[in-house]
Structure 1
Amino acid sequence: MKYIFTLIILILMSACSLSQENPSDEKEVSYSPQSNVYLHEKGDMLSTISFSAIGDILIHDRVYEDAKTNDGYDFMPMLNSVKPYLSDTTLSIANQETMIGGEEIGLSSYPSFNSPTEIGDALKELGIDVVALANNHTLDRGEKAVLNAIEHWNQIDMVYTGAYESKEDQQQLRTIETEQGIDVSFLSYTYGTNGIPVPEGKSHLVNLIDINQMKSDIEQAHSQSEAIIMNLHAGDEYEPLPNEEQKELMKFAADSGVDVVIGHHPHVLQPIDWVEGKDGHRMLAVYSLGNFFSGQEAFEKRVGGIIKFDMSEIEGEVIVDSPRFMLTYVSSEGPHAYEVLPMHELNESVLPDYKEIIKGYEQHLSQWMPELEFISK
């Protein structure tokens, strides 16, 4: 069975601006067991495909303890403030860094993570459509955690990439078909697994950065889709600028015809850039989206964001344009110790000098892309 998903956009308006977002419109997702397709419905008309992507979902014990209820875990009160900014695009992508193996095998935190399945439910409610699972923590709790996580992703109809339940599952490239005719493939790879060896004969459990495998996957993606988005787990932790390996991998991806690379692992924000590949191909390079939702306490690890961009096809060529960014902040000033808030909605009591902090991050993110727009309302 191929993982081909059908995206249906309901046209309810006679016209709309490509650059405007309407936070009040939310996606509806239903499932047709007869045809085994996903029906993604949205309440506004788009003449292009739009995307949102967020960084690391890194669920420390102090985060899931903050979400504990009498009958499980509820993360939505900690995420509701950013929901309008993730449910207003055609597709949304998240880096789920900790496996959601669930309570069955025991929850755990750093350095060997295992998270409640309820964080998956929260991402679904937020409007996330695709989760990237290849990262240095994929094998923290072994094969059982990966299989439990995948079982839950399947139960909630979430597209996942980068970790798989079998070789056959790995070979079924994740592609989402869109009504506009721009079919998008999603790939995910990691530099390693914190020294935990991949079980012999089970390389499907996590996609490692292997140029030969990546070339093969990209070729397959080109054969069945118009566009490719790659999640890439690499770089030096807590460094504000990409290292040479990240730059080389971005150039490889651009030369291979990948359209967008979304980077993770440094846990802090790094600049955004256009990388030119062979034959003038231009790729959007997001070197590191930082943490989106985590229990890391240092200020720079509490700052994350949402990258948004559009994708259209012109004369047979896919064009990525209109990149825009919204800064986020994990606050501890409200009823929860870990609550993700749009940074432009803060005040001085939550974060002193937040307006100057925003300016600093905007300059940092746009230093290689002066035209980068920022969402501030």
Structure 2
Amino acid sequence: MKELQNILQTFEQTKNSDQSIALATLVKASGSTYRRPGARMLMTSGGKMVGSLSGGCLEGDVFEQAQGVMTSGKPIVVEYDTMSDEDIIWGLGLGCNGIVQILIERIKPENSFNPLTFLSDCIRHRQVGFLATVFQVEGEIKTKIGTRLILYPDGRVESNIPDTDLVTQIRDDAQNALKNSRSLINTYPLLIGKAEVFIEFIQPPIPLIIFGAGHDVLPLVRLAQELGWYVTVVDNRQAEVTGERFQCADHVILSSPEKVCDRVHLNHRTIAVVMTHNYLHDLELLKTLLPSPVQYLGILGSKSRTETLLQDLPEEITPTEQQRQRLYSPIGLDIGGDTPEEIALSIVAEIQAVIRNRTGESLRNRLGPIHDRSIK
């Protein structure tokens, strides 16, 4: 997410200049690849490059390809096949055992189907959406590479794809994919050809709400910001919970534990972390957080302390098994964290593992591929 935010920031800084802008998007991958579909890199005619598509192996060649695209204005798709030693013909010798296809297109800020404008709207308004991009066409169909369909969270659809049958098929697939919150790549057969489309699920920044404003919260805020999460700090101490003290936070709220339900929005994407160091405050917060739909609820403190908190809750808020599954205490992964910075690292790592449905153990113990290959 942070990478995309940097791309969008550079775009905003550059779009009114006399520089040309190109965007490279990884639209399809198979085998072992460093990045997966949805990775992006922004390039300007002034030589700026923001984002990445690999571990640094492909970016130079993509930049060279982009120079021609910025001149011609015609989008292209470049394929990099590293599944054999033949990739040495590029002078790269990657040996990554994967294939990636990268769409390179010139970006015109005034174009209403400029993908960066839609991505920026999703982040700014913290809403989901789908961005469907045509990256391969065969036959005599009207649709061209780089045309798009946009699906908004309210169901509204906008498209510059001229083939109405293709628009209908993509729209239906995107609406179905919205239920599973997953990206997909589909090939659509048409009467006189076919089109391959990357239907990308766009997620807004992870909403992290930290209850507490102690010294140990500061490194957690900084680290979460580095990942591009939307960070809110909540505390009832006016002297502690200030914008000046938490300059890295996106939002700072002064609120008592009893009134947080009126001050924060809790949904199925919310990450809630309780770090007040005050037993009675934690107890009051649990009355709101446990029945809520948050996907992760972490409590700083020992296991016995948390169990006592749960026992002291009113009978009507006795946690269900599902709610216990979302409760993490002691909070964080077991990495031997001791300092505030190390503890923050363990907390963020655990949250990341939960979000991605991973175990948090060493990759050397993983039997399957590192990346999710359901998008091919």
TM norm structure 2: 0.26
Higher relative strand content: 1
Higher relative helix content: 2
